[in-house]
Structure 1
Amino acid sequence: MAKQLTDQVTFRHGATIKSRLVQSPMLTNSGKDDGYVTQDTIDYYAARSQSAGMVIVEYTYVSHAGGPSRSWADDRLQLGLYKDDQKPGFAKLAQVLKKDGNKAILQLVHSGRESNYRAKQGEKVYAPSSFDFGFLDYEVTELTDAQIREIIRDFGAATKRAIDCGFDGVEIHGANHYLLQEFFSAWSNRRTDEWGGQSLDNRMNFIMAVTAEVFRVVKTYAPKDFIVGYRISPEEIHGDTVGYDYRESNELIHKLATTFDFDYIHLSLPAYNAKPAGVDQTYAALAQPELPAETKLMIVGNVMSEDDAKDALKETDLVAVGRATLIDPQFGLKISEGRGDEIIREISPEQVKRSKLTPGLINLFSDPKMEPHLPGRESIYALHQAGSLDKSVLKNGTSASYNLDAFKK
């Protein structure tokens, strides 16, 4: 029988979601005072409790030095869950997301060299290796072995907090140029110890250690049906700068999925049907054989309608939807009720209010230079606050699309 978007999906550990649709993790710039959940955060996610069968909450940093990144103002920060007193806000977040019976997942990250807000505060920013990255306007410090091991523990501690807060699962963020990807990249990881260098196995070691710690905590403290996923960018190729290609990322996917009992692997893509240069198959088709039958494949990238989602489903188990849920928070509900033709496809000042976009999101998507953009963006240009974007994020003509990788989180 052909797969349908409205199929129930049961993961390998017993958790069931109502459909094959997932809301992808997207930065809301709604945190405050070093990553605390705000009422804007709560309102935004409460409006999306029916956007999909499962909602992945935006990338949340696990260590003080691991974020924030992509911060538009001091009161519009990335979320963090590295302190116990941040837990009450996240508990409310999980509660409002689960109020209609759908699953709430928390994406965990260390931003590595992208922790630009720490640089703005005059603090050190860390990465696997230290050199002139060219597109950063601050120096980066190489992590010591002791610091690496502390970050591994931080992922475990954040996982425990997510469990305590009532989330149904966590997603380890190994994509979009953040720390786990930085360790996997031969370009950004120039170490000579067990954590990197030219050896592909060594460049996997940090990822494997983080994953082992997350699973240790999950198996010790979480319900049996707790969901664990991993997000990966299938290539890191920027012109002549090559961190890894799809063959190497598929080796990592295979190692992760055969060593640990992941519920899903999530490919971070610019478009759901994207292909490597010179290859006839999509990234999804190339990755699928690396997964055991018990591990679901999830893909994301430019799914803006029910037809897009149906097309994407041909090569995957789960379809993640991003910008379309910003416009219409009932994207998944309407499809489940056979009302896909009623999905609102363009943003407007009225829809900004109805969809509970945060001030950070409003300012971001009302910028005429923003790419990828929301259809109908011309109608909200007047809402843009010129000059509020933290210019430290962009330097020397760095493209908006590069920095917007954060927005697909």
Structure 2
Amino acid sequence: MYNKLFKNGNIGKLEIKNRIIMMALATGTAKEDQTVGEDVTEYYLERAKGGVGLIIAENTRINDENGVAAKCQVSVARDEHIAPLKKLVDALHKEGTKFFVQLHHPGRETYSNLNGDKPVVAPSAVPCNVCKQNTRQLETVEVENLVKDFVCGAKRAQKAGVDGVELHAAHGYLISQFLSPYTNRRTDKYGGSFENRFSFVKEIVLGIKNACGQDYPISVRLTVDELLNLNGFKGEYFNLNEGVKVSRELEKIGVDAINVSNGIYETFNSLSEPMTYDQGCRTPRIKAIKEAVNIPVIAVNMIKEPSFAEKMLEDGLVDFVGLGRALVADPNWVKKAAEGREEDINRCISCTFCFETLLSQVIPNVGPIKCAVNPRAAHELQYKEFNKNGKGRVVAVVGAGVAGLEAARVLAIRGFKPVILEKADKIGGQINVADKPPRKEKIDWIIEYEKIQLKKLRVEIKLNTEATVDKLKAVKPYAVFIATGGSPVVPKSIEGVDRKNVLTIDQLLGGNIKLTNKKVALIGSGASGLEAAEFLCENKNEVSIIEMQDAIGKGVYIQHYLDAMDKLKKYKVNYMPSNKLLKVTDMGVKLEDTNKNEVVDYKVDYVVLSLGVKSNNELVDLLKDEFENVRIIGDAKVVGRVEGAVRSGFDAAFKL
């Protein structure tokens, strides 16, 4: 079916069984001494068993003094890392999967508290505008020593049986910093001219070829365009013209493949695209590199579906397809594609929760990454095997939102007989609202996946059925799962919130009332509020976002905030932070300007409330009194996002 995707290919002299490469993505699963343990092994082994041709390990440390990106980071900085790494390599080779390590130094894109509380190092003392750390310029001799660190790291990898290495020259990390005139303002042999800026990576490549042999494969993950123009930056930076030039020079010195990427931390949404970006969004930059070199080109391109991956190969855009988050979401993506079971793929919805947990959990050493649609990702040992001891016992699941559907799926796999009771006329719960803002269609994929799986598992779903004690008793459940979700907060303390011109986000996005050419006050600037604002703007409304806090979008994860604010730029949105809603009136709203301590009247036609969600848990006490075995999941237990709902349903069903 996918003739190109499942044809073998070569990187240098290394043969790979198909054209699918698992891209490096930090997980935080290594031990605290940076050695490979069971957690790392299980994570990669599951993807190897799922059919991946080549796995490129996460960013792998080559220097302990100033090259630390995270504590639980795989490393080849010391000889003690060789033996544990070899065990992983041997396990992957048994599955017919080849393995590279990605040699990495963060340069300025890390934190001092991870590097001995000293200033972070870089080609020049230009701090990263995201990490905001005190930054020191490397001395020439230090740069020369870092070249040796990369070479020694490659040699250790080779001793462990690793099939090749990838140099991380992307995303604004150290090698990328040397290449870019934005971050490299040196005056020694490593700065100034193009040739000098290229010399750092050149010395590393030649050093590895000398130490490991000319046939030892080297791939370079390269940011071919920093895309700083998207930020309005007018100075010199590493653009696509230089990306093409570097790719050609890398080919000349013996590099075996170019792994195309783009963006740096300061243009983060271009290197980790949110949900609103389309599959294929990187195509023009990939094409420019493919046309410039004769060695294999690898690339991610927001690929979620096998048909799109096949088309990239058919079009000659790439030689190997890179999958990152897609394989976090579904480790069996490749196997399912090969078997023609595309409908069974649990597609990544591009919610960027894995990157959010990289920042919130991995870097501060709280735990591994989490995936919104696959609770087992990077937690394979915690959820190793499903205990199939359900014995056909009935479990009533009240609510067919994400949490209820996921719980029913896992219960059915375990041999229980779940029965879902849903009072609405369709499944999906809050997803049926969350998918309405512009370019949010991918969020529907989780519901499509659950629907297909539940049908195959023959799970009974009773729509238009409100759960009552009698109805639940009628099915004689072994357990009852309460997945009744949440409802928008409507503060009754605010006078006028019951007026006909006041809507919640659910009412707005649910299609109860269509607003066009109206003046609208949107109260609250959380993630849902910002998305609702775009929805209103797209429907030609004049929107004012009113926020009680002193800034718009405070507390919204940075990628979602930047994406939303970028989309809202094209509209004339009136942002009103430090304004508290006191009352809804005949004319509009009465606000308190907390900066000026003034009360003002603001004329609008409609008011849309985005003030959060409260749990629908009215049934909890009643059902706990009537049934012995009750579990509360999803928003009914703790209000959260898709990840919390999926994980809550999965975990409760896994442990029942």
**Which category of TM-score, normalised to the shorter sequence, fits these structures?**
0.7 to 0.9
The CA deviation at 1:147 is 0.5
1:322-333 correspondence runs (5 A): 322-333=324-335
SS of alignment partner, residue 46 of structure 1? helix
The CA deviation at 1:234 is 1.1
SS of alignment partner, residue 195 of structure 1? coil
The CA deviation at 1:123 is 3.0
Distance 2:220 2:88 in 1: 21
Distance 2:561 2:32 in 1: 26
Cα-to-partner distance string for 1:255-309 (whole Å, 9 max, x where unaligned): 110221x32110025477335xxxxx711211112212xx111111311111221
The CA deviation at 1:211 is 1.2
Distance 2:176 2:183 in 1: 9
Q: Verify: 1:26 aligned to 2:33, yes or no.
A: no
| Residue 397 to residue 121, structure 1, CA distance change in 2 (3 Å) | farther
Give 1:273's match in structure 2, choosing from 254, 272, 280: 280
1:306-321 correspondence runs (5 A): 306-313=306-313, 314=315, 315-321=317-323
Distance 1:187 1:35 in 2: 32
- One-letter code of the match for 2:175? L
1:242-321 correspondence runs (5 A): 242-260=236-254, 262-269=255-262, 270=271, 273-274=280-281, 282-292=284-294, 295-313=295-313, 314=315, 315-321=317-323
Matching residue of 1:114: 109
Matching residue of 1:219: 213
- One-letter code of the match for 1:273? G
Cα-to-partner distance string for 1:134-170 (whole Å, 9 max, x where unaligned): 4334211111111111110111111111011111111
Matching residue of 1:208: 202
Distance 2:28 2:178 in 1: 26
Matching residue of 1:53: 53
Distance 1:139 1:236 in 2: 22
| Residue 121 to residue 235, structure 1, CA distance change in 2 (3 Å) | same
| Residue 203 to residue 113, structure 1, CA distance change in 2 (3 Å) | same
127-136 vs 185-194, greater mean Cα deviation? 127-136
In 2, are the aligned partners of 1:29 and 1:358 still within 8 Å (CA)? no
- One-letter code of the match for 1:340? E
| Residue 322 to residue 121, structure 1, CA distance change in 2 (3 Å) | same
Q: Verify: 1:233 aligned to 2:240, yes or no.
A: no
The CA deviation at 1:355 is 7.3
RMSD: 3.2
The CA deviation at 1:337 is 3.2
The CA deviation at 1:17 is 1.1
| Residue 157 to residue 284, structure 1, CA distance change in 2 (3 Å) | same
Q: Verify: 1:159 aligned to 2:154, yes or no.
A: yes
Distance 2:337 2:378 in 1: 17
SS of alignment partner, residue 108 of structure 2? helix
Query: How does the TM-score come out when normalised to structure 1?
Result: 0.78
| Residue 35 to residue 123, structure 1, CA distance change in 2 (3 Å) | farther
Distance 2:377 2:131 in 1: 37
SS of alignment partner, residue 167 of structure 2? strand
Distance 1:115 1:355 in 2: 22
The CA deviation at 1:325 is 0.6
Matching residue of 2:140: 145
SS of alignment partner, residue 30 of structure 1? coil
Matching residue of 1:352: 375
Cα-to-partner distance string for 1:88-121 (whole Å, 9 max, x where unaligned): 2211221222221111111111111123265564
The CA deviation at 1:323 is 1.0
In 1, are the aligned partners of 2:154 and 2:165 still within 8 Å (CA)? yes
| Residue 36 to residue 11, structure 1, CA distance change in 2 (3 Å) | closer
- One-letter code of the match for 2:135? V
Aligned length: 356
In 2, are the aligned partners of 1:67 and 1:118 still within 8 Å (CA)? no
| Residue 173 to residue 402, structure 1, CA distance change in 2 (3 Å) | farther
What are the ranges of 5 or more consecutive residues in structure 1 without an aligned counterpart?
276-280, 360-371, 383-394, 404-409
In 1, are the aligned partners of 2:346 and 2:446 still within 8 Å (CA)? no
SS of alignment partner, residue 47 of structure 1? helix
Larger Rg: 2
| Residue 67 to residue 39, structure 1, CA distance change in 2 (3 Å) | farther
In 1, are the aligned partners of 2:27 and 2:378 still within 8 Å (CA)? no
Q: Verify: 1:84 aligned to 2:113, yes or no.
A: no
The CA deviation at 1:398 is 9.3
In 1, are the aligned partners of 2:325 and 2:348 still within 8 Å (CA)? no
33-42 vs 96-105, greater mean Cα deviation? 33-42
In 2, are the aligned partners of 1:107 and 1:171 still within 8 Å (CA)? yes
- One-letter code of the match for 1:214? I
Cα-to-partner distance string for 1:345-368 (whole Å, 9 max, x where unaligned): 269889423774589xxxxxxxxx
SS of alignment partner, residue 152 of structure 2? helix
Matching residue of 1:128: 123
Distance 2:238 2:561 in 1: 17
Distance 1:125 1:346 in 2: 34
1:87-98 correspondence runs (5 A): 87-98=82-93
Distance 1:87 1:54 in 2: 20
- One-letter code of the match for 2:281? A
| Residue 84 to residue 355, structure 1, CA distance change in 2 (3 Å) | closer
Distance 1:42 1:399 in 2: 31
Distance 2:184 2:62 in 1: 21
Distance 2:136 2:31 in 1: 26
Distance 2:86 2:12 in 1: 25
Distance 1:166 1:65 in 2: 26
| Residue 174 to residue 63, structure 1, CA distance change in 2 (3 Å) | same
In 2, are the aligned partners of 1:53 and 1:332 still within 8 Å (CA)? no
SS of alignment partner, residue 58 of structure 2? strand
- One-letter code of the match for 2:61? Y
| Residue 99 to residue 26, structure 1, CA distance change in 2 (3 Å) | same
SS of alignment partner, residue 126 of structure 2? coil
85-94 vs 113-122, greater mean Cα deviation? 113-122
| Residue 287 to residue 98, structure 1, CA distance change in 2 (3 Å) | same
SS of alignment partner, residue 129 of structure 1? coil
Query: How does the TM-score come out when normalised to structure 2?
Result: 0.50
